[in-house]
């Protein structure tokens, strides 16, 4: 098989890999919310959970509910747009003030999630999603 055939065959998997990225990113994103809200799968520093109705609790709720919707690929574009905004706020409110550099301010996850969710708000969920099933049913 020639190099151009391999590249062509690999690039044909782009839509499915979009779905794989969405599923894995959403699953890990959900655990960020459950850690804050329930201390699962790992406890926050000091073993605490965030206070109910605090800004961090609302963020955790967005991460759990929004992440679950993204996991199954339902209402992906608007949900991803909201979550991109949530992560941008998290980055600039909590991480950026301590340092310009994401590695120094420990804001890499917030920064990357903001951009990944912004991408999904434009690209959609991919073929392995409830959005794709809904579109196909129309």
Mean pLDDT per block of 10 residues along the chain (138 residues) reads 83 95 98 96 89 96 98 98 98 96 97 98 98 91
Identify whether 8 is part of a domain: no
Residue whose structure tokens are 């809904």 = 134
Q: Total structural domains in the chain?
A: 1
d(CA 85, CA 114): 7
pTM, two decimal places: 0.93
Alpha helices in 1-138 (DSSP H): 3-11, 14-38, 55-72, 76-90, 102-105, 108-123, 130-137
Predicted local confidence at residue 3, as pLDDT:
78
Predicted local confidence at residue 138, as pLDDT:
78
Determine the structural domain holding residue 97 and report its residue range.
Answer: 17-137
Identify whether 9 is part of a domain: no
Vertex 130 angle, CA 78 and 124, to 5°: 40
In Å, what is the CA distance from 108 to each residue of 2, 5, 29, 51, 117? 38, 36, 13, 24, 14
Identify whether 2 is part of a domain: no
Predicted local confidence at residue 125, as pLDDT:
98
Predicted local confidence at residue 46, as pLDDT:
87
Identify whether 10 is part of a domain: no
Identify whether 11 is part of a domain: no
Predicted local confidence at residue 27, as pLDDT:
98
All residues at 6 or more sequence positions from 76 whose CB lies less than 8 Å from its CB, including other chains: 22, 69, 70, 120, 121, 124, 125, 129, 131
Identify whether 35 is part of a domain: yes
Q: Please tell me whether residue 124 adopts helix, strand or coil conformation.
A: coil
Identify whether 115 is part of a domain: yes
Predicted local confidence at residue 35, as pLDDT:
96
């Amino acid at each position: 098989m020639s190099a151009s055939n391999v590249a062509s065959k690999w690039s044909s998997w782009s839509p499915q890999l979009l779905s794989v990225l969405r599923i894995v990113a959403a699953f890990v994103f959900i655990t960020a919310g459950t850690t804050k809200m329930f201390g699962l799968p790992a406890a926050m520093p000091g073993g605490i959970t965030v206070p109910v109705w605090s800004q961090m609790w609302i963020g955790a709720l967005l991460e759990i509910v929004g992440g679950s919707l993204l996991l199954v690929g339902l209402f992906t574009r608007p949900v991803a747009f909201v979550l991109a905004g949530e992560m941008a706020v998290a980055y600039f409110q909590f991480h950026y003030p301590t340092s310009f550099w994401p590695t120094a301010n420990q804001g890499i996850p917030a920064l990357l999630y903001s951009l990944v969710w912004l991408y999904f708000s434009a690209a959609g969920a991919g073929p392995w999603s409830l959005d794709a099933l809904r579109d196909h049913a129309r």
